[in-house]
Structure 1
Amino acid sequence: MGGRQAYVEAVESLRPSQQAEDAGRALVDRAVGLLAGRTRCRLSDAHRHLLQMTADQGRDLVDVAAGVITLFDVTEPSARGAAPHPRLPAVGVAQVRRAEPWLATAQAVLDGMPGQAALLLPVLDAGRLVDLEFAAATPEAEVADGLHGRALIGSRLGDHLPESLLSERWRRYERVLDSGEPAEVGPFLLAGERYTVRAHRVGSGLLMSWERHDRSPGESERIAGTERLGNLGWGEWDLVSGEVRWSAQVFRIYERDPALGPMSREETEALTLPEDLPLRMAAVEAFERGEQVDVTLRARVHGRVKYLRTVADAVRDAAGSPLRIYGIVQDVTAREAGARRLAEVEHQLAEQRRSAAAEHALAAQLQRAILPIPDGPVALPGLKVAVRYLPAGQEGMVGGDWYHATTLGDGSVLLAVGDVAGHGTQAATTMAQLRHSLRALAVTTSDPGELLGHLNRLTCDLDAETPEIAATAIVARFDPARRRLTWAQAGHPPPLLSRGGRTAPLPRPSGPMLGVVEDARYECAVLDLAIGDLLLCYTDGLVEHRSRGLDDGLDAVIRAVDESVRASPRQPLGELLARLRRANPDDDTCILAVRPITGETQDLRRYLGRR
């Protein structure tokens, strides 16, 4: 257990600060918020579009979300322990964030609404709704203590009306948040006054309007308020009398003085953009066949292009000829503009993926060129060495894992395994520099501690050119005459030694990661290998996995080593590499398995052929 604890302590600092599932959810929420903010659409539309992109591309939702965040040049939560970004509001579960663009849009809408209404976002405690916070309000919105309009923003319903939190009304509000079904509550008495409250779920909160019955508006005012809220109006055309009637909102949509009366059919048709005339003619033909029409056309109104949705039907005579045409006109310019911006974002994401794929191909090509993997075991003085490289399971995750195994001029053997933090071309390039530098430095010294000291200074120099470079490594020298292994490590997981049917991590000599402390010193440890021993060096992708804990990953590898030795005690290397063949979706893995040999050891290539 002492060796295992040493391993856990060695890599504990590299573990994420929260579970990957929570981090993934935070990524998705942040991507939705950014998408809504940048395209100025509703959170629900942005979330729906993100899901659609995921389905269309056949990719993981978290990967698509990460692409959105990267596109908007916002730093993602680091896989190496950086705290994730704050979660954005999700329906029914988030705190109010007044800085979000969609809340500013909501306030702009409420500024133009009559009557008393406000957007309130939920305040949660352990997942339970405990209060509602004002995020936007109409100018006429007022509470019992006299606070009104934008002065309400930031305060909570319980601050003004604590009795509401204990009433039956509160459970109605919770149901609206949970189900999305609107509700009308009342009339009820509050502070001696009679009120009716209407609640609709909008985005992550409740849009609530309330009427004080001794001041309730007339029916016409309510209709006008509804028209403004939906940015729609109604119209009628009596074909018998020729009379045309518009509601006030239609005049506002067409920016026409009501004193001039409704426009004629010819005037409205003249506003339609020529490119949309075929669509308009198709709608007219459908109407003449007796169908209800629902069409969105572009109209140029006082120099600005608006998207106007028209839904029209008719009262017809026995022969099917229209007698009276009625319908609604809705200005959906904001919605269409948001859809266009979402399409632009999707196009930019596609370009980003193509660029990422090109970088992935380049990094993979570079990696193959500088890190050739032998087809079979490598015979070195006194050792058989087998290598396996498992690329990450995710596309674009080419990393900086590397190995080195060669004979030195004095007849000893130099072994090394290393891991450069990060992925992509930069990680592969840094890996190449470290590997080739080690090969060159081995001409001057074969001491593993000194070699790591040189690599550390090189990494610090590289970090000055490209910040935030960090790497780990193990370097070992094997003396075949004495079967003695001298090794040092730089923040790397310790090797596993299988001896006598039991596998455990080796106690680590001290040594920090490469590139962190410029004048770092690296101690060496000594291990005498015996015939029958098996030594496994590896990078952390072998034991770290988002779906299991660190101890579970280490236990699984130890079991694989023990089972391989039991299954093939004389030639366990091929059996071991056959078992350690499952790729980590999050990280590359490099495995270096070493077994001391004598002149009687058999050739193992036929065992390594099992992949």
Structure 2
Amino acid sequence: MPSHLSADRPADRAPSGAGPVEALITRTRQLRTDMDAVRRGTESNGTNPADRWQRALYDLALTHLEDLDEHLAQLREGPPPTAGSPEALPASPALGGEAATAPGRIGSAEWELLTDEVRWSAEFYEILGMAPTAHALTLDELPSLVLDEDRPRLTAMVTDCLVDGRPIDGEFRITRPDDGRVRSVHMKGEPVLDADGNTASMWAVLRDVSELRRHRRTVSETRDSLRHRRPARSGQGLVVEPQEALLPPWHGFLRLPRQGGPGSLEVAAHRLPFEGPGEPAGSDWYDACELPGGETLLGVGSLDGEPSAVATGTAMVIGGLRGMAMAGTAPGQLTAWLGDLVSGTARPLTGPALCCRYRAETRTLRWAGRPAPMLFRDGTGRRLRMPDGQAEAEHRLEAGDLLVLHTPGPATGRDGERRLTGLARTLLAEPTAQGAARVLVDTFTAERRTGTACVLVARVQG
């Protein structure tokens, strides 16, 4: 690990190993160029799952090489000056004039415990989305940028470092003050001891790993897609197939109605994988499509039953849902008929469903079923309510609204709903439905559950 900010070597002096480092940079850039050429030579239209998996691995490897190139360039330059000094403001020459926020750049910081002095490099400010002239946050203030659910993780790392002298090595998510974007960052550091062996300060390096995590998720999802296309004795491998055909995760989004315009929806969806032991109890589905007359169908649901029945039942439900919606069936009747459809099969299935019809011209949402949709607006989130005694509800949406449909899972129940509404500002800060869906996946997919879950996100366009 590199030395902390109080190193004796001047910042403007090249490290003694500049020659070997320069050679490593040359080799890394050549390897990156060669790999990019191979990737371009194997590109296809992306419709084959094996091709998507291969492309995802190439992208992940290239991201690692780009990070390595940036890290070696910073090593060649030597420790950066702290923010606020004149030489800290221009872009680094190793970037050819690009901003210091380029992927892979590392920021460094040191917190003095006795004097409360804080020293940040310019890159540290940039990664956190703060102006170079802003007040450098103390260790007590730093969690104010961190997402609520990640604050305990950061607090534990800092406490372990200051009290027990343990190195810091972990990730957490921040909300950048300058643009409101949520980014994943990785912090690595250690305590600095005084002559008596007591902790005098803490130093750390920080880098933005959002793109790296995104590429890793893509590799994992495309790998899972390949696995699900192979025969599975339980039948569960067949369940995902129609879902991927209707709305592939992370490979684009749907704009409904297709012609776009004010009030149209940008839609993204994802199926959260099963994290528990053994076989999942049932499966989940989602769908979105344009209906005659310009309306949009949105739906999510769950199916419980024998694995082989669930596999065939998913395709039956999606086909039946679309057919009835195309014929003009209202959401209240849709949910009732879907229940009759799955319960009347040779091997009966059960499970809740949520069905919505949306008209862009009036921004009117009609819905029925459960769990009820979550509406995010003006920095807050709430679950829509069904009027007493009614089988269907109607709600008028506004430009910029974010609608979240999900099946029963970690986001349900009092605690799950509280965590979901706590993500309101983070979700609304995402400029796309895909970005908001990724936030939900990152928040809930790591939790152990008894089955799968689906989330569908729709953003109303202005």
TM beyond 0.5: no
Structure number with greater Rg is 1
TM-score, length-scaled by structure 1? 0.34
**Bigger relative contact order, structure 1 or 2 (CA pairs below 8 A, ≥6 apart):** 2
| TM-score, reference length from structure 2 | 0.44
